Structure 1
Amino acid sequence: MPNPLVREFTDANFTAEVLESPMLTLVEFFATWNAPSRTVGQYTSKLATAFADKLRAGRLNIDDNQDTPQTYGVRSIPTTLLFRGGKVVEQIAGAPPYARFEAAVTRHL
């Protein structure tokens, strides 16, 4: 069952949901056909729950939304970007251990 705290980001809502967000925002760029994306998707869900009051977390499907990944130079999947104040403050490529994601979020809170 999907986590209701994980938002669905799209090209259409990216500015309002991510760039204009007053909160630290985690954006996972993923593809349904990509196995490491499933792992990172679980991390995104876990982070959304663990930091529910401090972090906005969501996923952006690169097959359905191609403009935003191109804008941010996303070349490999999964790629996770952390945004604060409309700017990228951290990038995590691939599917390193969960602790790497947790440390990145904690560092920017």
Structure 2
Amino acid sequence: MSKAVRIVLNVVAVMALFSVSAFAAENGGETYKWAHYIAAGFGMGIAAFGTGMGQGKAISSAVEGISRNPSASGKISTTMIIGLALIESLAIYALVVALILLFVV
């Protein structure tokens, strides 16, 4: 079993444990309001880690491509910037979900 699969299974197990205690709480789970803050923090942390790794890989590949073929630097840079914008949008979506968890739920 790969490391990524083990991490995902551990996260699912922790989420399952929190959901059981939240559903068993009285008053609609008011005593577990802190779980929203933890979920928002973990969500943003995972999103920031993932987008950081993706952006690092994209920039690394672009620099390697430019060093191999300097005449194609314009096309590579343009494609890289568009890709970085799309990667960064994933972090913004995670921020929106985290803010919804904090202020709406």
Report the TM-score range of the alignment, normalised by the length of the smaller protein. under 0.3
Task: Give the number of the structure whose alpha-carbon radius of gyration is greater.
Answer: 2
Q: TM-score, normalised by structure 1?
A: 0.23
Q: TM-score, normalised by structure 2?
A: 0.24
Counting helix residues as a fraction of each chain, which structure ranks higher?
2
